Amino acid sequence: MSPDVELLRIVSQVGYLACFKSDAKRSQLIMDGVSAIGREQIPIKIGVAVAGIYAGKYDEAINILRNHILAEDPNHMSAKCFLGIALTQKGHKAEAKELFEEVVEHGNQDEKIIAVAYLNN
């Protein structure tokens, strides 16, 4: 049985809401479930990584972003932006800076705004 993409998207949004409401534990639980069902989908992987960042699981987020998403799509600017955020939190500022500079050059407007904010800090 293949998972319904729309249902996974909605459940992912619930995971994001929990994350943004500072409920990292519930967010992680929801995103882990979504990941188990839709693991081949890059948006799902991004969601799991973002939830990991908010939960302080930076190594896990870095692994997903670097070894799963960017290995599959090396030009995924959202993944590079979130990888930069996770690396910043781990203290790897030089590597993060390179990623943010690339996002500023090649990303969409939302990605650029986030990257510029981190570059200016």
| 68-87 confidence digits (pLDDT tens) | 999 999 999 999 999 999 99
Question: 9: Cβ–Cβ under 8 A, 6 or more apart, which residues?
Answer: 43
pTM: 0.75
Identify whether the C-beta of residue 52 lies closer than 8 Å to the C-beta of residue 58: yes
Distance CA 35, CA 27 (A): 12
CA–CA distances in Å: residue 11 to residues 39, 65, 87: 14, 20, 27
pLDDT tens for each residue of 17-74:
777 777 778 877 877 777 677 666 787 788 888 888 988 999 999 999 999 999 999 9
